A = this chain, B = another copy of it.
Amino acid sequence: MNPSLPRNAPERGFDEAEFAVRTARTQRQMSLAGIAGLLLMSEPEVRYFSGFQTLFWQSPTRPWFLFVPATGKPVAVIPEIGAALMRRSWLDDIRTWSAPAPDDDGISLLADLLRPLARDGATLGVMKGHETHLRMPLGDWERLTALLPGLEIADATTLVQGLRMVKSEAEIDKLRHICTIGSAAFDAVPEFAVAGQPLDDVFRAFRRAAIGFGADDTPYLVGGADQGGYADVISPPTSRPLQPGDVLMLDTGCVWDGYFCDFDRNWAIGRADETARQAYDVLWRATEAGIAAARPGNSCRDLFIAMSEVIAEMDDSGGDVGRLGHGLGMQLTEQPSHAMFDRTELAENMVLTIEPSLSYGDGLMMVHEENIVVREDGAELLTRRAPPELPLIG
């Protein structure tokens, strides 16, 4: 037993009922949209409908497919190497081939499955909109559609993402658990992020801490540290030792049972200058405004505006990061986006990041981020709220 593991970890996996409900809801929407079947191929979509969870997706070699018919359970069309694991899912119809097979990597199997739809001139939904990728070779996609004359293709992005935005309580339990682990790891940072410590060692120590507290992994960790602030928020760490006067930021996506947290923390090493403390204060209050605005009926655009009004006290440029938060779940970032362009209405059980940022000084920026779930009465914090003043280390 590892004594550092939280004792209240939820169960791994989901009841079969969870997948049945997801599928039934999707099929209702498909029926309304005139979509006779959905062809899915990205990790979160395949997992959403099947529970199939493996890191093997990190290999780009093999494509994996899931077909959601108009009625009944989804059908898996997958490499034989995944058959044993997929058979433990709730699916009954699992079709496999020995992959990789460059000449026919599942294409014949898919064509057989989809031919009835093509014959009927029916519509196949695929994810081809914003924030999606085609996780199969483009050449194979072209070959597949050429094999299926008469098949109509429709974009099912909004349909699927709209359903995935709203989480079940079982999903929220997993998200709360990984946020708790992430909070514990951030609380431990002052133990190892001291002046003189190279930033890449701080990253290593953070990852080891998060895994020690029970994260399955810490796939996402970015950040920066420099005098009075940092200049970008997506860099890998350098080996520059932390120095008094640095502002250190760490932003992490830890994962537990396939669900992510995504939040960050800032610290001042030894001392903080006035501008950095002011930026922190503005962002902390912008986050409060975002949390307060995260209520059913408000839109993502409303959330963006609520945060922007506070950010404008110090930075009225509008920023270059494009948005001030997003959805969170099986992916580090999911729909929707807190941005002027996104009028998605907030609904109960959406899990969101609240992520204001601002630019200041000579090319410096600061970010701040918390994770919440939207409830009937407003936001429930999943992360342990950051302190209202820039914390000092040492």
- B-contacting residues of A (Cβ < 8 Å)? 1-2, 5, 12, 53-56, 58-62, 79-85, 98-103, 105, 126-139, 141-142, 155, 157, 198, 200-201, 203-204, 207-208, 211-212, 214, 216-222, 231-236, 239, 253, 320-323, 326, 331-333, 337, 339, 341, 363
Q: Return chain B residues, CB-CB under 8 Å to A139.
A: 128-129, 155
A100 and B323 within 8 A (CB): yes
Shortest distance from the beta carbon of A5 to any chain B beta carbon, whole Å = 8
Q: Return chain B residues, CB-CB under 8 Å to A332.
A: 58-59
A326 and B61 within 8 A (CB): yes
Q: Within the assembled complex, what's the spacing in Å between the Cα atoms of A363 and B55?
A: 22
Chain A at the B interface: SS class? loop
Q: Return chain B residues, CB-CB under 8 Å to A204.
A: 2, 211-212, 214, 216
Q: Return chain B residues, CB-CB under 8 Å to A326.
A: 61
The residue on B at minimum CB distance from A136 is: B133
A131 and B233 within 8 A (CB): no
Sample of 4 further A-B pairs with CB below 8 A, known A1-B198, A127-B138:
A53-B236, A55-B234, A83-B320, A84-B232
Q: Return chain B residues, CB-CB under 8 Å to A101.
A: 322, 341
Given contacts A82-B234, A217-B219, A219-B55, contact A60 B331 (CB under 8 A): yes
The residue on B at minimum CB distance from A81 is: B321
Q: Which of B81, B157, B208, B217 contacts A322 (CB 8 A)?
A: B81
Q: Which of B55, B100, B221 contacts A222 (CB 8 A)?
A: B55
A59 and B137 within 8 A (CB): no
Q: Return chain B residues, CB-CB under 8 Å to A2.
A: 201, 204
A105 and B130 within 8 A (CB): yes
Shortest distance from the beta carbon of A358 to any chain B beta carbon, whole Å = 14
Q: Which of B80, B85, B126, B208 contacts A320 (CB 8 A)?
A: B80
Q: Return chain B residues, CB-CB under 8 Å to A236.
A: 53-55, 216
Q: Return chain B residues, CB-CB under 8 Å to A131.
A: 60-61, 100, 137
Q: Within the assembled complex, what's the spacing in Å between the Cα atoms of A63 and B61?
A: 21
Shortest distance from the beta carbon of A268 to any chain B beta carbon, whole Å = 21
Shortest distance from the beta carbon of A177 to any chain B beta carbon, whole Å = 14
A99 and B322 within 8 A (CB): yes
A231 and B84 within 8 A (CB): yes
A128 and B132 within 8 A (CB): no
Q: Within the assembled complex, what's the spacing in Å between the Cα atoms of A219 and B211?
A: 12
Q: Within the assembled complex, what's the spacing in Å between the Cα atoms of A218 and B253?
A: 14
Name which of A59, A132, A136, A331 has the most chain B CB atoms within 10 A of its CB: A59
Q: Return chain B residues, CB-CB under 8 Å to A133.
A: 60, 133-137
Shortest distance from the beta carbon of A31 to any chain B beta carbon, whole Å = 23
Q: Return chain B residues, CB-CB under 8 Å to A214.
A: 204
Q: Within the assembled complex, what's the spacing in Å between the Cα atoms of A62 and B332?
A: 13
Given contacts A58-B219, A128-B138, A131-B137, contact A233 B81 (CB under 8 A): yes
Given contacts A54-B222, A137-B131, contact A337 B100 (CB under 8 A): yes
Shortest distance from the beta carbon of A369 to any chain B beta carbon, whole Å = 13
**Can you spell out 11 A-B residue pairs with CB atoms less than 8 angstroms apart?**
A54-B235, A55-B236, A59-B333, A60-B133, A60-B331, A80-B320, A100-B130, A101-B341, A127-B138, A139-B155, A211-B211
Q: Within the assembled complex, what's the spacing in Å between the Cα atoms of A224 and B80?
A: 18
